[in-house]
Chains A and B, each alone.
Chain A
Amino acid sequence: MAELKLLFEHAGNPAYQTIEGYIAKGGYQALDKALKMERQAIIDQIKASGLRGRGGAGFPTWIKWNGLPKEKTKRHHIVCNADEGEPGTFKDKQLMEETPFLLVEGMTLAGIACQGDAGYIYIRGEFIDAAKAMRKAIDEAYAAGFLGKNIRGSGIDFDLYIHLGAGSYECGEESALMSSIMGERGMPRLKFPHAPLPTIAGLWDEPTLINNVETFCCAPFIVNKGGEWYATMGASTKNSRGTKLFSVSGHVGKPGNYEIEFGTTLMELLEMSGGMTGGKLKACVPGGSSVPIMTAEMCDGAIIGYEEMMQAGSMVGSGGCMFLNDKTCIVQFIWRTAMFYAVESCGKCTPCREGTKWMLQILERIVKGNGQPGDKELLLDITSQIDGRSFCGLGDAAAWPVAGAIKVFPEEFDYYIANGKSIVGSPLPMVPA
């Protein structure tokens, strides 16, 4: 299958970044439609679409939308997770920069469906351009009456705010993100069953809906053209519907964001993005750095879909797809990945705080040629002591790539440990201190 541009249909068109251009291309039709719909009908459309969270976990979106209390007793908050920090992922950045009104409209739709009072877009601190684009779009939407008091004369109010992060990967975790918005240290909070779900008690203990940028951007299309229409895309997969953005990087001819329909194969995605350069395909990390790495054999025939990718031994994740050629040293690649997680661990829980650092120390020793027999087994053991034991998902995300790489490329680790150098002869890369 080829690219299927839905969200990205007008990406790159400067006119689409103005409210006039957006409306000219069919924007805000969904909002006008939604204002005439029952709240539950909007949620039913989301349900019919089969839309699942695009941030990585793939949780059915409608359940969240439906989870906020129907009888409103407190303020309701709509939060957009735009803290896109997963290494290899850069789709939300482009969405915010080139199709900002999709996000504004999507969040407004959620606000209408869930009786939200205000929306907060938590944008990664480094995304200055994205934040500027969103600011401009929000200002224009306010001026044109699509935000603020009495939207389009409907009597519904909805405000939208931008909150810039301060450079912490952990704040992309939804409960840490809420801590950060509330002015606390960016550390995760207790989750169900230890505490109520965010849809019951999130920001300031009030019902809160949190979705990814891409998820919100899908909403206008679903509301406008109907959930059933949306569900026709990706119908060949078990339970994945619609389109998905993939940020393709690595040793490919044309790295960048590609929108594909679920059911496309991983190899088709590789082809779209210009094919391999500098060598044959050796490995692929299909969904951002935290998902298990795949060998070329595993990639062969792998179909992109939440369940299908699980079957192939990895995950769709956030869509940060990295293709690696056969000159790549997997041990060094994993070392660099482990460094990221050791630096970004927030420090709250023991397994992640101590485990990520320890794994990094061992991997660093190995890549510098001082590996010892037993290091591989020790690393595997450490990952099993982190995975599922940490406070939030960051620990799991740090453990999976290491465990996954050792599982599918054991010979690379064995060779590096035994010989003190890479199996592919790759020299030690410089990394920022």
Chain B
Amino acid sequence: MHGHKTFDSSALPRALTERPRILVQPLESMAAVAETRLVTITINDVELQVPKGELIVESVKRLGLEIPIFCYHARMKPVGMCRMCLVEVGFKQPDGSVRKMPKPQAGCTLPADNNMVIYTDTEMVHRDRKGVLEFLLVNHPLDCPICDRGGECPLQNNTIFYGPSTTRFTELKRHLPKAYPLSQYVTLDLERCIQCGRCVRFTEEISGDAQLAFRFRGSNMQPSTFQLLDFDSKFSGNVIEICPVGALTSAKYRFRARPWDLETSPFNCLECSNHCSVWFDHRAGKFVRMNGRTNEAVNEEWTCDKGKFGQDWINDSNRSVKVMVRKGDAFAESTWSEAYDQIIAAFSGGHCAALIGGKQSNESLFLLGKLFRDGFKSNHLDSRWTRHLTDDALKLAPDTIASLEHKKTILILGTSLADELPMVFLRARKAWFKNGTQVLNVTAKANEADAFATQSLRYDEDHEADVVAGIRLALEGAADDAFALVARRAQVSAADFRAIAKELGPDTAIITSRSIFNVGDAGDVLDGLQAIARKTGCTFNCYAVNGNDAGAEALGLIGGQGSLNTREILEACVNYRVKALWLFDCNPFDLYPDHHLVNDALESVAFLVVQGSNSSSLTPYASVVLPSAAPAEQDGSYVNMEGRLQRGKGMLQAPGDAKPSWRIFSELLLRTAGGTPYFNPSEILQAIGQEVPSFAGVGDGELLKSAVAGGVTA
């Protein structure tokens, strides 16, 4: 078209050359689209329309082309540091000719505009790519054979595709520390660093803790923490994944495997109730590492350190691998059938209960409920461990994680989001960073959200109820003296309450977590926040915090309405009304605030089943110990705190005698209630869909029907 010598349009797919004008739908992960107005640009002689301001590095993807990159990352502001993405750029003149810019331009920072002509496949572009790679490699140690990144390294890949085959560098390479521990999780190899700044920008733009920065300048420039302090971030693991070389490595994965030896499976992290999509990498049947997997609705592509580095328990020597049964004073290894016989003997008759915790799948929970109701004729099951108990379950989560991005105001009350719900924290920060959402952080103690909160309000610990009352008073326009009591108790002034209250409106989301139910007067807090939501028209979210708590609640594994709740179950154990107790994947000593009650209950109850994937301090109390499989060892579905159903696939073999929990319950169900047993989790999920209305017809990744995203306000 423009008579350019080196461009060969036959390299393009036919369909593209035949249809010169194409309009493609916007890409999902577009980094910087300033406007929705379309402009016409030309890439390698193919004319196409793209949104004005779209970065050229994204535009070329619409043609199935790729510009090599290092520093560019679609979720962060482009910087144009590495120069790997240089392309030739020209502008179409009114007479149809193209005036080329004298210098090549960085495709990652160049916004698309009308009449722009891009060449990604010219001699000059190839020479520039080769040049940049030669520069990057002069000081890069070629220790790929022992580098963790070898085999999945963007620098390796780009060198193979675009780089020189040999080096002309005969000088001494730069030598720097090889294994500098930035933190207990992240180890820095400074020699491998190519100074792309992705890690530095991540801490500035995404996690917001700004823990990393560049020190020194020129060829001595290196990423570092300030004054070499510890890299103290709750999201530090992400920098390992976005590092385009092997400079930032995981202290836990370092030298443990080569990428081509790993098997990987999609998985959902269950360390908290966000249920981040992750890649679960394993080798020879053992868990090796976990990396973020793209899921725009939940975690985008990030992970938190708690999840990423918190999976070691799967490989733990502490795993429960044998069925154990108490015979007299002795506690001995036994068989499943003997254990089942004893359990059925003890649990039949209805004076039994179960307490549920942790990371078990909907399928297991559903069958446990069925086993108790149909097999043991008891309805006393509870999955909640807070001091105050509510059965509002998912009605208290009208906002999805993604919808928080478009709120005008977010009020965080009484929870340290970065600890309890890391992905909600990252979204709230993104909302502030990208869309200017104002964040009000009302917590007893200082936390990460203060860094970007427009207002941070501190109060005396355990006085959430007074804080909520204060905000309500402010909303009602009460006079100063009306605040006297709450202001004194919470140590917050009337002016501060008013400052928070005046920001609340229909575009506001109030966020708190289930751990608020542990504070004093939790009922008042809940009622108060619901009243505030009604008055201002804002949404009120009280998100579940742990594992599959939201799933257990959606399946009705909560007390109340005639059945005993957690506290009542424990009390019933103490006064012998409950004779057999089943602890399903939970340790009440860790979960329940009243340790005396727990101890009394466990000592009093006649028969105690302890079922879980790891041995615990509960064994001395137990009558029977049942080993069960970890989530990664069984198929199953889970519900996160926004009510999103996500299915996971088991990929590891459960150790020893351990069985998936749903199978244990299915076998017991067959022995007690009879009928056709369930053979696999898909079948059970189908049954759930038939019996539990909120699950009916809900597919993988969809919201449960009772989870009313953007619908009902409390």
**Pair B83/A347 contact, Cβ less than 8 Å:** no
Residues in A with CB closer than 8 Å to B134 are 385
Contact indicator A389/B219 (Cβ below 8 Å): no
Residues of A within 8 A of B106 (CB): 194, 391
Residues of B within 8 A of A190 (CB): 78-80, 109
B37 interface contact, C-beta 8 A = no
Whether A389 contacts B109 in the complex (CB less than 8 A), given A345-B217, A351-B132, A355-B135, comes out as no
A353–B168 CB distance below 8 A: no
Q: Which residues of A contact B104 (CB under 8 A)?
A: 388-389
Q: Which residues of B contact A185 (CB under 8 A)?
A: 213-214
Residue of B nearest to A358 (CB): B138
Residue B25 is within 8 A (CB to CB) of chain A in the complex: no
Q: Which of A194, A356, A381, A389 is close to B83, meaning CB atoms less than 8 Å apart?
A: A389
Report the contact-size class of chain B (Cβ under 8 Å from the partner).
Answer: 35 or more
Task: Tell whether A351 pairs with B131 under 8 Å between CB atoms, given A168-B217, A342-B218.
Answer: yes
Residue A378 at the chain B interface, CB threshold 8 Å:
yes
Contacts of B83 in A (CB 8 A): 349-351, 389-391
B-chain residues with CB within 8 Å of residue A345 when the two chains form the complex? 217-219
A contact residues around B132 at 8 Å (CB): 350-351, 385, 389
Q: Which of B135, B171, B195 contacts A347 (CB 8 A)?
A: B195
- Does B102 belong to the interface (CB within 8 Å)? yes
CB <8 Å contact, B138 and A389: no
Q: Which chain B residue shows the least CB distance to A372? A: B170
The interface bits of chain B over 116-142 (1 if a CB of A lies within 8 angstroms of the residue's CB, else 0) are: 000000000000100110111011000
Known: A353-B195, A361-B171. A193 touches B80 (CB 8 A): no
- A350: which B residues are within 8 A, CB to CB? 81-84, 132, 135-136, 194-195
A344: interface (CB < 8 Å):
yes
Q: B216: which of A342, A347, A378 is its contact (CB, 8 Å)?
A: A347
Task: List chain B residues, Cβ under 8 A from A342.
Answer: 218-219
Contacts of B135 in A (CB 8 A): 350-351, 353-355, 358, 385
Indicate whether A193 sits within 8 Å of B113 (C-beta atoms), given known contacts A353-B218, A354-B139, A389-B132. Answer: yes
Q: Give bound CA distance, A372 to B128, whole Å.
A: 25
For residue A361, which residues in chain B have a CB less than 8 angstroms away from its CB? Answer: 171-172
Task: Indicate whether A357 reaches chain B with its CB closer than 8 angstroms.
Answer: yes
Is residue A346 within 8 Å, beta carbon to beta carbon, of the partner chain?
Answer: yes
In the complex, chain B residues whose CB is within 8 Å of the CB of A346: 217-218, 221
* CB <8 Å contact, B218 and A349: no
The chain A residue with its CB closest to the CB of B220 is: A347
Does any Cβ of B come within 8 Å of A407's Cβ? no
In Å, the complex CA distance between A70 and B128 comes to: 41
Separation of A100 and B217 alpha carbons in the complex (Å): 33
Residue-by-residue, is B10-45 near A (CB-CB < 8 Å gives 1, otherwise 0)?
000000000000000000000000000000000000
Interface of B is mostly: loop
Provide the residues of chain B in CB contact with A356, threshold 8 Å.
218-219
Name the interface residues of B150-188: CB closer than 8 Å to any CB of A: 168-172
Q: A348: CB under 8 A from chain B?
A: yes
Chain A window 168-205, contacts with chain B (Cβ cutoff 8 Å), 1 for yes, 0 for no? 10100000000000000100001001110000000000
**Residues on the B chain within 8 Å of A357, using CB:** 139, 218-219
Residue A343 interfacial (CB < 8 Å): yes
Residues of B close to A168: CB separation below 8 A? 217
Given the complex of chains A and B, what is the CA–CA distance between A347 and B131 in angstroms? 17
Taking the nearest CB of chain A, how far is it from the CB of B665, in angstroms? 59
A195 to B105, CA, bound (A): 12
Answer whether residue A365 sits at the interface, using C-beta atoms and an 8 A cutoff: yes
| Minimum CB–CB distance for B115 against chain A, Å | 12
Cβ contacts under 8 Å, A344 to chain B = 217-218
Cβ of A389 and Cβ of B171 under 8 Å apart? no
Cα distance A372–B169 in the bound complex, in angstroms: 12
User: Which of chain A's residues have a CB closer than 8 A to the CB of B597?
Assistant: none
Query: What residue in chain B is nearest A193 (Cβ atoms)?
Result: B110
Asked if B131 contacts A385 (CB within 8 A), the reply is yes
Does A362 touch B at the CB level, under 8 Å?
A: yes
Minimum CB–CB distance for B648 against chain A, Å: 41
Among A170, A345, A372, A389, the most chain B Cβ lie within 10 Å of the Cβ of A389
Pick from A170, A348, A381, A389: contact of B81, CB under 8 Å:
A348
**Bound complex: CA of A375 vs CA of B216, how far in Å?**
29
Q: Which of A170, A348, A391 has the most CB of B within 10 A?
A: A348
Complex Cα gap A349–B71 (Å) = 10
Asked if B103 CB lies within 8 Å of chain A CBs, one says yes
Q: Establish whether residues B217 and A347, one from each chain, have CB atoms under 8 Å apart when the complex forms.
A: yes
Instruction: Tell me, in angstroms, the Cα distance from A427 to B627 when the chains sit together.
Output: 81
Contacts of A381 in B (CB 8 A): 168
Out of A343, A353, A358, A378, name the residue touching B221 (CB < 8 Å). A353
Say yes or no: A378 contacts B217, CB within 8 Å: no
Q: How far is the CB of B116 from chain A (nearest CB, A)?
A: 9
Known: A349-B82, A354-B139. A343 touches B218 (CB 8 A): yes
Chain A positions 370 through 385: 1 when the CB is less than 8 Å from some CB of chain B, otherwise 0: 0010000010010001
Residues of B within 8 A of A358 (CB): 135, 138, 169, 171
Q: Kindly list chain B residues whose C-beta atoms are within 8 Å of the C-beta of A355.
A: 135
Complex Cα–Cα for A349 and B219 (A): 10
Q: Which single member of B105, B169, B221 contacts A194 (CB below 8 Å)?
A: B105
CB-CB under 8 A from A378, the residues of chain B are 168
Q: How far is the CB of B117 from chain A (nearest CB, A)?
A: 13
* A170 cross-chain contacts in B, Cβ below 8 A: 217
Asked whether B537 is an interface residue with its Cβ less than 8 Å from the other chain, the reply is no
A349 to B221, CA, bound (A): 11
- Asked whether A389 lies within 8 Å of B131 as measured between CB atoms, the reply is yes
Q: Are A354 and B109 in contact (CB under 8 A)?
A: no
What residue of chain B has the Cβ atom nearest to residue A348's Cβ?
B81
Considering the chains assembled together, what is the distance between the CA atoms of A362 and B111 in angstroms? 38
Tell me how far the C-beta of B176 lies from the nearest C-beta in chain A, rounded to whole angstroms: 14
The answer to whether B82 touches A194 (Cβ under 8 A) is: no
When chains A and B are docked, how far (Å) is the Cα of A389 from the Cα of B129? 10
Q: Give a binary string over B220-257; 1 marks a CB under 8 Å from any A CB, 0 the rest.
A: 11000000000000000000000000000000000000
Among B105, B128, B139, B219, the one with the most A-chain Cβ atoms within 10 Å of its Cβ is B219
CB of B533 within 8 A of chain A?
Answer: no
CA A347 to CA B194, docked complex, whole Å: 10
Give A362 to B138 CA distance when docked, in angstroms. Answer: 13
Question: How far is B134's CA from A354's CA once the two chains are assembled, in angstroms?
Answer: 9
Are the CB atoms of A347 and B214 closer together than 8 Å? Answer: yes
* CB-contact partner of B80 in A349, A354, A385, A388, under 8 A: A349
Q: How far is the CA of A4 from the CA of B588 in the complex (A)?
A: 92
B86 adjacent to chain A (CB < 8 Å) = yes
List of B residues within 8 angstroms of A390 by Cβ: 83
Instruction: Collect the chain A residues with CB atoms within 8 Å of residue B220's CB.
Output: 347
Please tell me if the beta carbons of B81 and A194 are within 8 angstroms of each other in the complex.
no
- Minimum C-beta distance from B169 to chain A (A): 7
Question: In whole angstroms, how far apart are the Cα atoms of A391 and B82 in the complex?
Answer: 9
With the chains together, A52 CA to B84 CA distance in Å? Answer: 34
Contact A349 B111 (CB under 8 A): no
Q: How far is the CA of A353 from the CA of B128 in the complex (A)?
A: 15
Q: Give bound CA distance, A241 to B132, whole Å.
A: 41
Give per-residue flags for B56-84: 1 if the beta carbon is below 8 A from chain A beta carbons, else 0: 00000000000000000000001111111
Complex Cα distance, B223 from A185, in Å, reads 13
Within 8 A of B (CB), among A316-356: 342-351, 353-356
Task: Considering the complex, give the chain A residue whose CB is closest to the CB of B133.
Answer: A350
What are 12 contact pairs spanning A and B, CB under 8 A? A190-B109, A193-B105, A344-B218, A350-B194, A351-B131, A353-B219, A358-B171, A362-B171, A389-B83, A389-B86, A391-B83, A391-B106
The 7 closest A-B pairs by CB, nearest first: A347-B221, A385-B131, A354-B135, A345-B218, A357-B219, A361-B171, A388-B103
Which residues of B are at the interface with A, using a C-beta cutoff of 8 A? 78-84, 86, 102-106, 109-111, 113, 128, 131-132, 134-136, 138-139, 168-172, 194-195, 213-214, 216-221
Residues of A within 8 A of B (CB): 168, 170, 185, 190, 193-195, 342-351, 353-358, 361-362, 365, 372, 378, 381, 385, 388-391
Q: Given A381-B168, A388-B104, list of 7 further CB < 8 A pairs? A: A344-B218, A345-B217, A353-B195, A353-B218, A358-B138, A361-B171, A385-B134
